[in-house]
Amino acid sequence: MKTEILTDKQYKTLSKKIINTLEKHYKVIPLNTLKHTKYVLRKPVYITIEREKDIFIASLDDIESCAYADTEFEAINLLCEEIINIYEDLRNDRQNLGVLPQKWLSYLEEVIEYR
């Protein structure tokens, strides 16, 4: 015998509350630029913005990179700098990369154009 814990209305209400709570602390947005004259994104990359109390965390999970700041804008800018630094480091040490850093470099070469 099946026992319902929540009615359909209660389930929908609870689902909306959970989604609203998550949206206040976590969102995924497209990053269309690295804000740099030499590096241009060929296509948007999707980054995660999280809010933990008074700190914003911007992260690009594809290369396991993140940046922390007091504002969302600062966190995104710092993440852009971090992405460029990782890209440059990986390109300069291409011969000595392990499996995971090779995957990161492949991904970055796919999305970043050097001008």
Considering the domain 25-114 in this protein, what is its CATH number?
A: 3.30.160
Instruction: Kindly state the tokens that stand for 34.
Output: 């690295």
Give 19-77 pLDDT, tens digit per residue.
777 777 789 999 999 999 999 999 999 999 999 888 999 999 999 999 999 999 999 99
Cα 22 from Cα 25, distance rounded (Å): 5
Q: Are 54 and 71 in contact (CB under 8 A)?
A: no
pTM of model > 0.95: no
13 confidence band (pLDDT: 50, 70, 90): confident
Q: What are the extents of the domains in the chain? A: 25-114
